[in-house]
Amino acid sequence: MNYFTSFVFSMFISLFLTPLFMNISFKFDFLDIPKEERKVHRAPMPFLGGIIVYISFLITLTLQTKFLDRTHFVIIVSSTLILIGGIIDDIYPMKPKGKLLIQIIAVTIIIFNDIYIKDLSFLPGGNVFSFKFLGVPFMFAWVILVTNSFNLIDGLDGLAAGVSFIVTLTIFIISMISGNISSAIVSVVLCGTLLGILPYNFYKAKIFIGDSGSQFVGFILSVISVSGSNTLNGEFIILIPIIICGLPLFDALTSIVRRKLRGKPIMEADKEHIHHKLVSFGNSHPKSVVIMYVIAFLFSVIAIFMVVSNVLLFVFMIFVSMLLVIILIYLLDVFGLRNKIK
């Protein structure tokens, strides 16, 4: 199968499986019951969407016999472990240490198969530095942070799936530019899978992707964002994946800082993420999600621009401006200014 066929095939598998798993969820009571105040839905909701994403991804990638290589196999094995942990967490909520242990094991599988950062450059065409043994702890930190970042933004209907689609499409484009076939095929398959389930996951959602789906997708994106950002010369351009995943990363890091400053556990859930702020400003749920899509899209445009252009100063000005806009959202709420500017 070529890229387009893989995209369409994985999309139709998701479209076909979603109604089936919705029925299974209601029949066997695999439902997210909104018991916590931070939940935005009010009715029981099927949460097996992550399994749909996994099955569609697995079937399509496995059929890629021409391109299936060791990297693909390792990604399948390690991401399967993440999915299993997510399913357990969806049914019987796990403690943060349990989630972290599973993620550490999955990253270890990746690293033991020689998938980690060896040489890096901060900018395209910049000086190349040998990471040596530092590549291993960096890979651990990167994968765990990105995996949980995508899990944290899964707070509104269609948000995690839609942002993940934008990020995945960006990685596909950059992988094609850099000639990284392995990352390109993984990302195009995941693109189709996410687009297939999105109509059922967007407002008003009929099924959730759950922790299993958001962690599974986040894990894959953390791996292919690294491999897909390698240039033809083999060095890793560190700023590219940071910008690609800029929105979920920023949200996760600010959440960690916020909870630390308030003396709360960093893994404690709350309703103070960027998407929650947008809703609190009077935006509807779908409008808030679309705003998040636009921000993610702008990050993606900047990342692609960095790959194909040398106008780095202009790109960085846009990047910093976007961060300032997001920070402003927090400042308006923290200082109570949003009531004064209405």
Tens-place pLDDT, residues 14-50: 999 999 999 998 888 888 777 665 556 567 888 899 9
Closest CA to 249 of 232, 274, 279, 212: 274
Location of structure tokens 């899964």:
154
Helix (H) / strand (E) containing 120: strand 119-121
* Collapsed DSSP state (helix, strand, coil) of residue 67: coil
* Collapsed DSSP state (helix, strand, coil) of residue 160: helix
Closest CA to 13 of 70, 66, 56, 57: 56
pLDDT at 65: 60
Backbone angles phi, psi at 45, to 5 degrees: -130, 130
Each residue's pLDDT, cut to its tens digit, for the chain (342 residues) gives 789 999 999 999 999 999 999 999 888 888 877 766 555 656 788 889 999 999 999 999 988 766 667 788 899 999 999 999 999 998 888 888 899 999 999 999 999 988 877 766 655 555 566 666 777 888 899 999 999 999 989 889 999 999 999 999 999 998 898 888 888 999 999 999 999 999 999 988 899 999 999 999 999 999 988 765 555 444 456 778 888 898 999 888 888 888 888 888 777 777 788 888 888 888 888 999 998 998 899 888 888 877 777 556 556 666 666 676 666 666 555 544 444 444
pLDDT digits (tens, 9 = 90+) for 74-101: 999 999 999 999 999 988 888 888 999 9
Q: State the pTM of this model.
A: 0.88
* Collapsed DSSP state (helix, strand, coil) of residue 236: strand
pLDDT at 241: 86
pLDDT at 135: 78
DSSP 205: P
d(CA 274, CA 327): 9
For the four alpha carbons of 50, 53, 57 and 58, in that order, the dihedral sign comes to positive
d(CA 290, CA 63): 34
